[in-house]
Amino acid sequence: MIISFDIWDTILKRKCHPEEIKLATARYIVLKYEDNLKDEYKNIYEILKKRDEIEERECKKNKEAGNDDECRILDVFKILQKEIMEKEINDISEELLREEINQEKRCIYINPEILPIFEKYKDLNMYCISDFYMSADSLQELFNYVKLPVKIQKIFSSADYLLNKRAGNLYKKAEEELGINPSEHIHVGDNQYSDIDVAKGLGIETIKMEKTEFNFIPEKNRKFEFDLDKIKKDNATFNAGVGIAPLLYFFVYSIVEYAIKNKIPTIYYQTREGETFIKIHELIKENNPFGVELPECDTVEVSRMATFSASLNEFSIKELLRLWSQYRTQSMKALFKTLAIDIKEYKQYFEKYDINPKENIVEPWFDLRVQNLFADNEFTSKVNAELKNKREELLKYFQKQKEIKNDDKSLFLVDIGWRGTIQDNLAYIFNNKKIGGYYLTLYDFYNEQPKNVYKLSFIDDVDIRDHEVGEMITLLEWIYNPGTGSVIEYQDGNPIRKAKTEEIDVVNKYIKPLQEGMFAGAKIINEYMKYHPYEAKESKQYVYELLKKTKLNPDKALIEAYYSMVFNDTFGTSEYVEKDLKLTFVQKLNIFKCRDMLRNETWKEAFLVYNNLGYLKAFMKIKSGIRKLLGKG
């Protein structure tokens, strides 16, 4: 008497649908060989579809040759490679098999319900009979990986014999080799037809196992099914962070995918927000959902202030138009703050040209006093000496801390957005490098772009960018604030940071708990992504819907964090941003005052939630309805 086992859903179970294992192999092909794929196959679902077609063709061909309708995975991979590649390359079938086995290892576990059966029949010789496209050797490797607690004497795989259980022939072949009759054979499996009905029809005793069902539709933009609610707890701010975790996770996921495809060795995350983004990159590296080697990650401590002054070729009106195109009204005090230069050393020059350093000058490049000031060689020479020193200090930091110098090795940067000004500054400094930048989103550029830059954005839907992101833009900066301050300059190769005490206190109180929720949520999503392959672009619609939901129906704890905002905005304005529009009870009763304040508020839904002004929202709806009835709106 012997006992045989089916493998899938009997001895081994997966954490995903079987087709998702194949989909992971398709993604591997796209990640590694996208440049050589035919256009129609630069899509994991089209590769999966083509593979399934080839399997069906191979099964039909083998049946016509006198075998059962079975196929071998290596044969399928050889054909698949030829049909989807633009140019012929070396055979990668073994490479694809290795990747598929690795993905199986990520997803499999021993079925706990098989263990009592192992124990009950431990005195019998055990075998496996499986309809599967991998050989016995590959299946044995999977058993070894999970440390199967019993010895399987032999695996009869349909791929080795081109015979299957469905036709009954693989049972007959196994019994023939083992020299037994069906009456001496017990078979355990989950498939009602091939494991139970066919086996019983041959006189084999059977034991039925339960099959695990998964929802899987092999279509682009299929639904995400991770459950974030299960990690929420009795902490509203933490839970708000969990809710917006997909925005953070999928942004970084898309960055990593892009870097893999484009063979970028290291991604440099720019401070400050980059200090938060890199934590997701590190999570992805620690628990890799891609199945390929990932790029390295590091931070570069930069800011607009620390890089702008170093990027100027000279202190001139022409060069400063890069700044003044954005800040068309500026005082000399704000200018020197922006350049991180002590204005006290230049007091005599301002007096000489009758300029009050605190005076806000409209379009300073047209102001005659400013023109005369910049024509003063003594003044500009003194400033230029400071600018030269700042560039040397920046270069020293990059060389000393990051081993980055002005050579022809490309540089890839990440920041939150919105125009890539820091990237531009670095491009003027490292003018021998090709410098790429990846952003949450990008707006129209103020200045002509340096020739050695290219820029990409995750959120590329213009309507989402201009409405959802545009209205919540300060929130999206604030929630990623690490509370470490902003780099203002470099000294002896080290970055010098500045942070307002109030900013650090508020980050610790409101933002850190929010980020803890985001990181916890990101872990859940990353675990899900290990077993369910998606292309990064498939996450965009999910993110867009999340942004819409956040804007229209913001979480109250998220709004508390938003209105707690205090952060350094010294660049251009020499001011700190502080946001608090909490109304008193009396102010709330004044509907006209509330309406006027609402008109000036960028994110109106946040203002209503923050001040519990549900009645005003209802009033505005009624007013809007009346105007429509009267034909006025």
pLDDT at 49: 97
Chain segment 353-386, per-residue pLDDT in tens: 999 999 999 999 999 999 999 999 999 999 999 9
Please tell me the pTM assigned to this model: 0.89
Cβ atoms within 10 A of the Cβ of 123, count?
7
pLDDT at 574: 44
Average predicted confidence (pLDDT) for the chain: 91
Q: Which CATH class is domain 2-208?
A: alpha beta
**Ranges of each domain in the chain:** 2-208, 229-298+413-563, 305-402, 581-629
Q: At 618, is the pLDDT very low, low, confident or very high (cuts 50, 70, 90)?
A: low
> Of the candidates 62, 245, 48, which has an alpha carbon nearest to the alpha carbon of residue 161?
62
Give the span between the Cα atoms of 12 and 20, in whole angstroms: 16
> Of the candidates 292, 299, 303, which has an alpha carbon nearest to the alpha carbon of residue 256?
292
Residue percentage of the chain with pLDDT more than 90: 77
Give the span between the Cα atoms of 83 and 92, in whole angstroms: 13
SS3 label, residue 569: strand
- Residue 612 region, left (φ>0) first, then alpha (ψ -120 to 50), else beta? left
Q: What single DSSP character describes residue 366?
A: G
Cα angle vertex 405, ends 341, 414, to 5°?
75
Give the span between the Cα atoms of 237 and 248, in whole angstroms: 16
Q: Which helix (H) or strand (E) holds 5?
A: strand 2-5
What average pLDDT score do residues 177-195 get?
A: 96
Chain segment 14-62, per-residue pLDDT in tens: 999 999 999 999 999 999 999 999 999 999 999 999 999 999 999 999 9
Chain segment 521-541, per-residue pLDDT in tens: 999 999 999 999 999 999 999
Task: Determine which of 238-247, 390-399, 573-582, 607-616 has the lowest per-residue pLDDT on average.
Answer: 573-582
pLDDT above 50: residue 569: no
pLDDT above 80: residue 120: yes
Give the span between the Cα atoms of 60 and 70, in whole angstroms: 8
- What size, in residues, is the chain? 633
Chain segment 242-281, per-residue pLDDT in tens: 999 999 999 999 999 999 999 999 999 999 899 999 999 9
Q: At a CB cut-off of 8 Å and minimum separation 6, what does 335 contact?
A: 320, 323, 364
Tokens representing 590?
Answer: 């004044």
pLDDT above 50: residue 338: yes
Rg (CA), the chain: 32
pLDDT above 60: residue 579: no
Chain segment 84-117, per-residue pLDDT in tens: 999 999 999 999 999 999 999 999 999 999 999 9
What's the one-letter identity of residue 232?
K
pLDDT above 80: residue 597: no
Chain segment 51-83, per-residue pLDDT in tens: 999 999 999 999 999 999 999 999 999 999 999
Give the span between the Cα atoms of 264 and 60, in whole angstroms: 43
Q: For residue 98, report the phi and psi dihedrals to the nearest 5 degrees.
A: -60, -45
Please answer whether residues 483 and 504 qualify as being in contact, where contact means their C-beta atoms are separated by less than 8 angstroms. yes
Tokens representing 33?
Answer: 């060989």
Chain segment 401-432, per-residue pLDDT in tens: 999 999 999 999 999 989 999 999 999 999 99
- The separation between CA 100 and the C-alpha centre of its own chain, rounded to angstroms, equals 23
What average pLDDT score do residues 153-172 get?
A: 97
Instruction: Name beta bridge partners: 128.
Output: 5, 155
